[in-house]
Amino acid sequence: MYAVITLISGLLFGLGLAFSEMTNPSVVIGFLDIFGDWNPSLLVVMASAISVGMIGYSVQRKRTTPLFSGKWQIPTLQQIDSKLIIGSSLFGIGWGLSGYCPGPGLTALVNNPSEGVYFVAALIAGSGLHYFQAYITNK
């Protein structure tokens, strides 16, 4: 059942990305260009995502365990540290420069392979560097 729920969730997420045009880098860059030719359409996407998240946390507060798992997997860190600042800054810079974040970036392998290959290669390289750094640090 876990695999079925995961598949359905992924399909809904992908449909939402495609329907909202989050897979189109020019729409994303237009949203981020608040001092230029700003495209506010992604505000609806953001409001929808926040609403779904609020509903999810409301359900989580009322249930002791999830329906298809033994425990909730909720982030527990509450402090803002340098890893959070640096990571979110790098994410934002990459998103602003390319117009892709990881979900829509993967769809670019099909929609726009000439850009998608470079984005996904950079995503894999960045993830590899993170794990390499974590391995060296914990050694």
Average confidence (pLDDT) per 10 residues, the chain, 139 residues: 88 87 88 89 90 92 86 87 90 86 86 87 90 82
pLDDT of residue 130: 85
Amino acid at 59: V
pTM of the predicted structure, to 2 decimals: 0.68
CA dist 102 and 70 (Å) reads 28
- Rounded Cα–Cα distance for residues 28 and 115 (Å): 15
What's the pLDDT score for residue 139? Answer: 63
Spatial contact of 44 and 54, defined as CB atoms under 8 Å apart: no
Tokens of 28: 């994303």
Of 34, 133, 46, the closest CA to residue 86 belongs to: 133
What is the residue whose two structure tokens read 């790098």? 90
Are 17 and 107 a contacting pair, CB within 8 Å? yes
